[in-house]
Amino acid sequence: MFLSIDADRCMGHGRCYSVAEGLLSDDDEGFVAQRGQTIEVPDGLLPDAREAASACPERAISLREASRPLGGAGADA
């Protein structure tokens, strides 16, 4: 499973890393440090990834089964 965080939508609510501490972290401004990235989710952290995605008020976090090239037609958001 891959988790992507849309840098344009993310507004620093901080809900994602507060519910998924093992997967995500915060930067100096309180934004998620993985903003704008796609990361591979270890199997054990799948529930955290789902929690993080459903905690985001901006709907900035998406999950998908396989990684696709960024910027391709399938790129989220």
Positions that interact with other proteins (CB under 8 A): 9, 11-15, 18-19, 26-31, 54-59
Q: Which three-class secondary structure state does DSSP give residue 45?
A: helix
Q: Least CB distance from residue 66 to other proteins, whole Å? A: 26
Between 29 and 40, name the residue whose CB sits nearer to other proteins. Answer: 29
Q: Tokens in use for 54?
A: 């459903």
Between 27 and 67, name the residue whose CB sits nearer to other proteins. Answer: 27
Strand partners, 4: 38, 62
Q: Tokens in use for 69?
A: 């090239």
CA distance 31 to 1: 22
Between 23 and 31, name the residue whose CB sits nearer to other proteins. Answer: 31
